[in-house]
Chain A
Amino acid sequence: MSRRHLAGLLAVAVCTQMLASCTRRESPTSPEAGEAERRGQALVAVVQCFVDHNVLARSEAENHSWFENGKVQQTAALVDWASSHAETSFSGKTLQVWEDEATAGWPGWRCPL
């Protein structure tokens, strides 16, 4: 039996264990659903970081309803904006990459600029 096969079996065994201990779905507390929560907050921090360091011009941010009194708001309009800028490059990395890094380090992530 190859090592890879063994690892696969192990993974299946762990999954089965987890499934067995899991009862009815409680969506907001599951780790994956928490991911959307973290990613939402991380997005705000990332875009705020862009504005604060002029990677995204303040005048550009002010064109959008998600920017109020110098602060990025966690609204539907922000999510829509992020969707259409996923592959846009900011300071050498796409928004998507920024967001992935910030989400991975959340809530400890700090603006590196």
Chain B
Amino acid sequence: MSLSDLIQGQKARISHIPDENLRTQLLRFGITTGSEIKCHCRLPFGPVVLQFAGQEIALGRTLANQVHVKQ
């Protein structure tokens, strides 16, 4: 499943981010494979906002689809 499948308040662990660019950009926010994130808010057809270590980060839907997570 991907980040876009999470519902508000649901927690998950990042399992795989295939795109290298996205992977390194998220790494700079501290998010990497194994990080536990929480879905702060999911807009209908729109971005997913995740919560991680006191930060809120918004990813456009196309990016959120590329972040694989597992529970």
A in complex with B = no
Give me the interface of A with B, judged by CB distance under 8 Å: none
